[in-house]
Amino acid sequence: MEKYIFFVSLLIVLTGCTKIGTERIDANKDKINESMLLESTTENEEDVTLLSDVVSYLVLVNKEKGLPSTYMPDDLVVPQVLNVDYQVSEAIMMRREAAQMLEKLFQTATNEAGYTLLAVSGFRSYEAQAKLYNEYVQTYGQIEADRFSAQPGHSEHQTGLAMDVTSESVTKQLDQTFGETPEGQWLEKNAHRFGYIIRYPEGREQDTGYMYEPWHVRYVGVEPATEITEKGLILEEYLAN
């Protein structure tokens, strides 16, 4: 785990602030090579299972299950929660129900425990993810990039149901040590009350395909989230039952 924490922290330092988690694109960087972008978004097309029911709150998006490149939720709204700049921003858009429940989650964290949670990154389009992923591949190589970044069409952020969350305890960054903070521990224990799960939990890296991300919460609905949390499942296992 120390290796993972060091790797994530190093990436954050190298790429600036919260880049590995937020996976924002630096507008000042050189444009991504177009041929490389095209290759990454098409080379695995035959292996991708495009989902017919992408609007379901239980939609499964992982390394094997992908979303259509044209998919964008039609009910995106801006949740009335604070981002890392202590503002409400379009960069944290989510689907309406997920946004409403995120507002309740953040407010309860403050009311019950006195914690201030901050939203980092919500909906991200296929095109934005494609450019971002290729940027990471160019910098770190595909093997390393695949450990922490989704290929285009395979990011939960495209569903509008995922949010990256942080706090001042980790200087508003997305770091695995967030899971050790009071805010991170509260989030892990209480997210299910509002329909959210920790999508990439510690110890399940081989099953999810991604490193531990205590900051990445995914909306699935209260009942599924409660069962997933209480039974120690990941979303794939819940849907397989």
The active-site residue, picked from 205, 213, 227, 237, is 213
Q: Tell me the CA distances in angstroms from 41 to 25, 45, 54, 125, 227, one per residue in order.
A: 17, 7, 19, 13, 35
What is the C-alpha to C-alpha distance for residues 219 and 103, in angstroms, rounded to an integer? 12
Catalytic residue status for 90: no
What is the C-alpha to C-alpha distance for residues 181 and 27, in angstroms, rounded to an integer? 32
Which helix (H) or strand (E) covers residue 101, if one does? helix 96-113
Residue 13 has a CB neighbour count (10 Å cut-off) of 12
Tokens in use for 141?
Answer: 């190589």
* Count of residues making up the chain: 241
User: Among candidates 10, 24, 72, 50, which has minimal Cα distance to 154?
Assistant: 50
What's 194's DSSP letter? G
3-state DSSP assignment of residue 17? coil
Active site residues: 213
